[in-house]
C-alpha cells in the first residue's frame, strides 16, 4: 500500500527549478548594478566564504543582513558543520503578488488537503491505494 507522502510528492505543488545560477553569472549580475567589475565581485564573494569560515571556526555566528545567520554547530559524534538560518526578508520577498515569476508544478493543487491528495492518488493508482 502506498503512503500519503507519495501522493504529496506526486500531486502537491512544488517549484520547477531552473538551472542553478553559478558564481560567474552572479558576479556579472552584481557588477552590472555596482561600480565593481566581475572579478572584484568574485573575489569579495570568495572572501565572504573565508570570513564566515574564520569566525565560525572559533565559535562566532555570522549575521549577514538580508541573507541570514551562519553558525557553527556540533553533532553528537563530534563533527562540526555550519547551520544556516535564512533572513526572514528572503522568504517574505517571494510572497508579495507577482514576486515569484518561476513555474509551479501542480499549481492547481495549491490548498488541497491530505484527503484530496489521497483521492487523486487513489484514482490514478487503484492497484496501490493509500493506506
Domain residue ranges of the chain, discontinuous segments joined by +: 1-18+102-131
Q: How many CB atoms lie within 10 A of CB 70?
A: 20
pLDDT of residue 91: 87
The pLDDT score that the predictor gives to residue 131 is 84
Task: Identify whether the C-beta of residue 99 lies closer than 8 Å to the C-beta of residue 93.
Answer: yes
Per-residue pLDDT of the chain (131 residues; tens, 9 = 90+): 899 999 999 999 999 999 999 999 999 999 999 999 999 999 999 999 999 999 999 999 999 999 999 999 999 999 999 999 999 999 899 999 899 999 999 999 999 999 999 999 999 999 999 98
Beta strands 62-64; 68-74: pairing state: antiparallel
Phi and psi dihedrals of 64, rounded to 5?
Answer: -115, 100
Adjacent-strand bridge partners of 64: 68
What is the predicted pLDDT for the residue at 72? 98
Q: Residue 53 corresponds to which cell in the numbers above? A: 569560515
pTM of the model: 0.78
Cβ neighbours of residue 127 closer than 8 Å, sequence gap 6 or more: none
Amino acid at each position: 500500500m502506498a503512503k500519503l507522502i507519495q501522493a504529496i510528492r506526486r500531486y502537491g505543488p512544488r517549484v520547477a527549478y531552473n538551472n542553478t545560477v553559478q558564481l560567474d553569472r552572479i558576479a556579472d549580475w552584481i557588477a552590472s548594478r555596482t561600480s565593481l567589475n566581475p572579478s572584484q565581485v568574485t573575489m569579495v564573494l570568495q572572501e565572504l566564504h573565508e570570513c564566515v569560515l574564520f569566525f565560525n571556526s572559533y565559535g562566532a555566528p555570522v549575521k549577514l543582513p538580508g541573507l541570514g545567520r551562519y553558525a557553527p554547530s556540533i553533532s553528537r559524534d563530534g563533527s562540526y558543520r555550519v547551520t544556516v538560518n535564512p533572513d526572514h526578508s528572503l522568504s517574505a520577498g517571494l510572497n508579495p503578488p507577482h514576486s515569484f515569476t518561476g513555474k509551479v508544478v501542480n499549481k492547481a493543487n495549491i490548498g488541497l488537503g491530505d484527503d484530496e491528495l489521497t483521492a487523486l492518488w487513489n484514482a490514478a493508482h487503484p492497484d496501490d491505494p493509500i493506506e
